[in-house]
Structure 1
Amino acid sequence: MKYDFIVVGHGLAGAILAETLRSRGSRVLVIDEPKENSASRVAAGLLNPVAGKRFAKSWMADTFIPAADAFYDALEARYGQKLFFHKPIYKVFSSIEEQNTWMAKSAGGNWGDYILATHTQSINQPGINDPFGGIMIGRGGYLHVFAMLDLLTEDLVKQNLLLPERFDMQELQLTESGVKYKSMEAGQLIFCEGYQVIHNPYFKWLPIQPTKGEVLEVQADENLAPERIYNKAVYVVPEGAGRFIIGATYDWRNPNEETTPQGREELSERLRQITPQKFEVTGQWAGIRPAVRDRRPLAGTHPQYKQLSVFNGMGSKGVLMAPYLAQNFAAALADEEELMPEIHIFRYLSLYYEYIDQQNQQP
């Protein structure tokens, strides 16, 4: 069987890229080993246009957000199912110093509809501990990532375009016209493996740092206002009926998929700083994100083997970035436009040459 592309991995990045390639008329085969605790499937799917203690607008938010809205809207229209929930984000100030930092930052910038309101005092909402106030962020929300992945997976299965197995590198052959994997051929193979790329002999030179993240599901005694997301060191995403997703931890020292009592207590304590309400932990999950040294995604063809490409490194911002970057990458693969230099793997070409030298020096 012949395809235009084989995509390895069907997490958030791989699924959005495969869908983008298919929407352009390409025949795509996806190879993916089903995992319930992949980073994409345990993520809350948060889209936050203003992040961090320094109150910086997310990189290229003006470009990424319209592309993300259009992509998720199109999926909702096709499947008749709500997937992306537009919600303001109430970022609670943790101190008067943080409030002052924001006031100085906001005075010199054009924030448009990203900032709906600035509160220098508590908004007096029952169940919220915000003595220093906070900012109400617009254009945010969250994606039901697992629901989207399930719908796209079902589509692939119906069309016999999904091979549900672990990719076996020993079965990969590079040919003059592309690649061959078992009995299947394609012009291009794209690795969207997340943190597993560190084991990939063709792309292990890329600076991916596996970073563990734990999240909690909690049930609150009283429902916090479900029309917004809350943020103060952790995010609090309302799922309805008093249910919330709390996350996430960041642990690069122990990159495994095991939940821990320490993660549970860290997230619980941070939630207590946001709300005095009693809550019960009803679920806990862990996944491993592919973090990149410069916090920019990784995309591009291999320096030597042009049949092989990579699309990876979205970290915790895949919901925001992946739709636009998948469009750009797909167009670049078709020689229709240039791949964004900020995400091109050639920015790390020196690491590739170092890797090759090390391989050549081995006996």
Structure 2
Amino acid sequence: MKCGITKFHLIFIQNLSIFTQVFFIMRKVDYIIVGDGYAALFFAHQLIKHDQSFVIFSEGRKSASQVSAGIINPVVLKKFTTFWKAQEQIDFLKITLQEIESYTRKNYLIHAPIHRIFHDDNEQKLWLKKSDNEDLSAFLNKEFRHLDIVKNDFNTGKVDQSARLDVSSFFNDLFSYFENQSILIKEKFEYAKLNPSASTYKDIAFQHIIFCEGMGVKENPYFSEIPVNPNKGHHIKVKLSKDIPENITIKKKHFLFPVNHDLYFYGGTYDREQLHHHIDDSAVEQLVRGLSEFYPDDFEIGEVNFGFRPTVKDRRPIIGRHNEHENLYVFNGLGARGILNGCYFSKSLYEFIENNIPLHEEISINRFNK
């Protein structure tokens, strides 16, 4: 009996070779984004805007961004001060949301300015004094308003240029867009399967990878040491016995505004101590007391939610390149201003990577190496 390679064997080997080649073809993209909060989605927009290919990894769990209030506010409402690049961030957000509208067919900006309830006459006087400052005159409206629906014995001050983001629609629509474009990967990113030297992850070849993981960065072996700290925030959704106007956002200790026909958002709290992953009764009690201070009628709690904001001691984002792997980047530490920080500094990161424009030292990861 002769042993050798027959015509059948040759055909089988050829087909197996073709199958093997097809099976191991790498998917090539310019970027991988890991994360599903404001940092991830606003950076994804920069890539869409500049025709860069990418995939985005999302575990499908609601991030702190996705349960946030969506407040767009250029004023620190405890001391009536503003913050670094507030006007630039407001202006850039408006432009960016118009750009996003070009492919989602919806603008997510809700024009419902903040009305801050004054605690006493001294706050009114301080507001008026601060409104003459050059950096605050565009934000602190000098005409006070009395609201009939809530307790506001000393009236309210309106924050000009404040607004809200339609958080639910923003995330739902963008994830739907990513899914329709076949660029959304619904699974946990496995660091052990990342090969930075070869610029590959599983069957994906990439040029750059951006980690936008919020507090999930603590599990990331490449950036786990960055100094972000969790700040736990609770909010409640309540049914009010008497409605408030839809075109305003009321603020005293926390924010109150309608989210649909039945429920109103009230929150959120700040807690750096109770960091367990379940609801704190004390936080809920704090919210109930806060709402009761100015809302005189009955209300019923419909939902309780919480998330962990990634905060930084100097209140600046942490953005930059890994010190050993030049294709790995981090975009984190957005804190309580996730919308404004995420939107504005996504452009800074993109220009740093693509055009070699240095990051401002106040946001660069390198500031912690000094």
Q: TM-score, normalised by structure 1?
A: 0.90
Q: Secondary structure at the match of 1:57?
A: coil
CA distance in 2, matches of 1:108, 1:158: 48
State whether residues 91 and 230 of structure 1, in contact with CA within 8 Å, keep that contact through their aligned partners in structure 2: yes
**Deviation for aligned residue 1:74:** 2.5
1:281 is paired with a residue whose SS is strand
2:223 alignment partner in structure 1: 203
Q: What's the counterpart of residue 141 of structure 1? A: 163
Assess if the C-alpha contact under 8 Å between 2:236 and 2:266 holds in 1: yes
Deviations 1:111-131 (A, max 9, x none): 343223343xxx442222112
- 2:343 match: 323
Q: Which moved more, 1:336-345 or 1:102-111?
A: 102-111
Q: State how 1:32-71 maps to structure 2 within 5 Å.
A: 32-36=58-62, 38-71=63-96
**1:334 and 1:54 mapped to 2: Cα distance?**
39
- CA offsets 1:272-331 (integer angstroms, 9 cap, x no match): 122212211111111111011111111111122211100111111111222221112111
Q: Distance in 1 between matches of 2:34 and 2:279?
A: 26
1:42-78 CA distance string (max 9 Å, x none): 1111111112311112321111011101111232343
Q: CA deviation at 1:82?
A: 4.2
Q: 2:108 aligns with which of 75, 83, 89?
A: 83
Name the CA shift for 1:346/1:215 in 2 (closer, same or farther; >3 Å).
same
Task: State how many pairs are aligned.
Answer: 344
**Match in the other structure for 1:101:** 126
Give the SS at the match of 2:196.
Answer: strand
Distance 2:161 2:262 in 1: 23
Moved more, 213-222 or 76-85: 76-85
Instruction: Write the mapping of 1:104-143 to structure 2, written as runs, cut at 5 A.
Output: 104-109=129-134, 111-119=136-144, 123-143=145-165
Is the Cα–Cα contact under 8 Å of residues 256 and 288 in structure 1 kept in the other structure? no
**1:6–1:190: 8 Å Cα contact kept in structure 2?**
yes
Query: 5+ residue gaps in structure 1?
Result: 351-363
Deviations 1:170-198 (A, max 9, x none): 1011125xx21111111111100001112
1:2 equivalent among 4, 25, 28: 28
- 1:354 corresponds to: none
Paired residue type of 2:85: M
| 2:117 corresponding residue in structure 1 | 92
Higher strand share: 1
TM-score (norm 2): 0.88
Q: 5 Å matches for 1:146-225?
A: 146-175=168-197, 179-225=199-245
- 1:279 and 2:299 matched: yes
Residues 182-216 of structure 1: CA deviation (Å, up to 9, x unaligned): 11111111100001112222112211001111111
SS in structure 1 at match of 2:161: coil
Query: Within 2, Cα distance between the matches of 1:49 and 1:338?
Result: 26
The percent identity for this pair of structures is 28
Q: Work out whether residues 224 and 242 of structure 1, in 8 Å CA contact, stay in contact via their aligned partners in 2.
A: no
| Contact 2:319–2:329 under 8 Å retained in 1 | yes
**Is the CA contact 1:127–1:224 (under 8 Å) kept in the aligned structure 2?**
yes
Q: Give the 3-state SS of the residue equivalent to 2:131 in structure 1.
A: helix
* C-alpha distance in structure 2 between counterparts of 1:300 and 1:237, whole Å: 36
Instruction: Classify the secondary structure of the residue corresponding to 1:113.
Output: coil
Q: Offset of 1:333 from its aligned partner? A: 0.6
Q: What's the secondary structure of 1:71's corresponding residue? A: helix
- Alignment-mate amino acid for residue 91 of structure 2: P
Q: Within 2, Cα distance between the matches of 1:301 and 1:101?
A: 43
2:210–2:330 CA contact under 8 A, matched in 1: yes
